[in-house]
Amino acid sequence: MSPSFPRPFAYEGARLLCSGSSLEALAAEHGTPLYVYSADAIRERAGMLQAGLADVPHTICYAVKANSALAIVQMLGEMGCGFDIVSGGELERVRRACPEALGRVVFSGVGKQVWELDAALEAGILLFNVEGEGELELLSSRAVALGKTARMALRVNPDVFAETHPYISTGLSDHKFGIAIAKAREVYRRAMTLPGLDPAGVSVHIGSQIRSTEPFATSVERVGQLVAELRADGMDIRYVDAGGGLGVEYGQVPWDPAASVQAYATAVTGAARGLGAHLLLEPGRFFVAQAGALLTRVLYVKQNGAKTFVITDAGMNDLIRPSLYQAHHEIWPVVRSGRSEQTVDIVGPVCESGDFFARDRAIERVGPGDLVAILDAGAYGMSLSSHYNTRVRPAEVMVDGDKARVIRRRETFEDLFAPEVV
């Protein structure tokens, strides 16, 4: 059992390490369930993309929704990244972790509220990605009320199919996101007449976990045609936001992240090169997914008819991707025992039949007290966690070089009940 591509999680002898740190020791010190991240792996991925885009003017805006830990936001901000946010809460995370990066923030999302627009205007963010005509009118009125000018782009829907899970595909005409590209020129002309707005860019985002480069290139090419039309209408279009969505491999297939970045960068910059615009990109998953793992301890092994269930102390409230997306995560024992493999369902304690991490998975036999690591859990793991079944959420630990530190302490019942009133 060994990775088919570089991960920060690797065996040294029989023991699984994260960038050289013992996962067994981290679980003993901090308890389980426990999220563990490699700072070096995140920096490496960010550096790959920065190098791939080096010959074009660009800003990499990390998608905060992928993993919104303040420590990760701060680290990427210090590397010069901007941020793609989808809520006022995510704006506040940037403010607290890296206030100097507020001018590198793009604000996306279909349901921006008045208080969120006001906070972003006061913060002086880089760009509002406007999703509809109603939002355009509201942004204009709030900019005027606050005496500000809002740089904005319309998020256009290029009707480009990207082969991914339907829940995370966003670029087709039957999705809730964006404005039909055929209608965009008309809406931009309306934006030119509204006070407080600076139509400064065009934005597109076609989905997440996309592993083919062709949809990215096609969407940017379609945006390029619109940019030419808007400039002919007298607009100063300075930014093209090509969105995010660069995927990773969750399974054990041969895959080279550096080659994937190079192909992606070539496709996007090739399509955007003649536009004379500053390129914005919104990676999230690619930076953090494989940098994180969820450690969990086996509680019981249960036979039920022909099925064997490995029941762990982590549940779907801690990592919902397998239940929500039928997502695959590699699951490895933290200490290899040399036992034979057994086909099992690996499940949690939550009172739902959908509470599972793997079904019919061959794994080295484990027993009560053993630790397993659910790999590639750094994106949309903790950020999608909940208190379902009145369960407190895990702690998070960052391994950075030869040190490991808590970046979020384990919640207590006091934290959980603090907002409630009886």
* Closest-CA residue to 294 (of 45, 31, 62): 31
CA 288 to each of CA 66, 246, 338, 416: distance values in angstroms, whole numbers, following the listed order: 8, 12, 31, 27
Task: Name, in order, each residue with C-beta under 8 angstroms of 260's C-beta and a sequence gap of 6 or more.
Answer: 211, 246
Task: Name, in order, each residue with C-beta under 8 angstroms of 103's C-beta and a sequence gap of 6 or more.
Answer: 124, 125, 126
H/E run at residue 330: none
CA 101 to each of CA 79, 123, 171, 286: distance values in angstroms, whole numbers, following the listed order: 10, 10, 28, 21
Task: Name, in order, each residue with C-beta under 8 angstroms of 115's C-beta and a sequence gap of 6 or more.
Answer: 88
33 preceded by a cis bond (ω within 30 of 0) = yes
Residue matched to tokens 């297939």: 253
Residue matched to tokens 């994937």: 260
Task: Name, in order, each residue with C-beta under 8 angstroms of 313's C-beta and a sequence gap of 6 or more.
Answer: 32, 33, 296, 297, 299, 348, 349
Which residue among the candidates 18, 81, 98, 351 is catalytic per the annotation? Answer: 351
Beta bridge partners of 374: 294, 331
Alpha-carbon gap, residue 49 to 184, rounded angstroms: 30
Active-site annotation holds for 61: no
CB of 322 within 8 A of CB of 409? Answer: no
C-alpha R_g of the chain: 23
* Closest-CA residue to 185 (of 196, 199, 170): 199
Other beta carbons within 10 angstroms of residue 116's beta carbon come to 21
CB of 250 within 8 A of CB of 327? Answer: yes
Other beta carbons within 10 angstroms of residue 95's beta carbon come to 15
Other beta carbons within 10 angstroms of residue 255's beta carbon come to 18
Residues known to be catalytic: 351
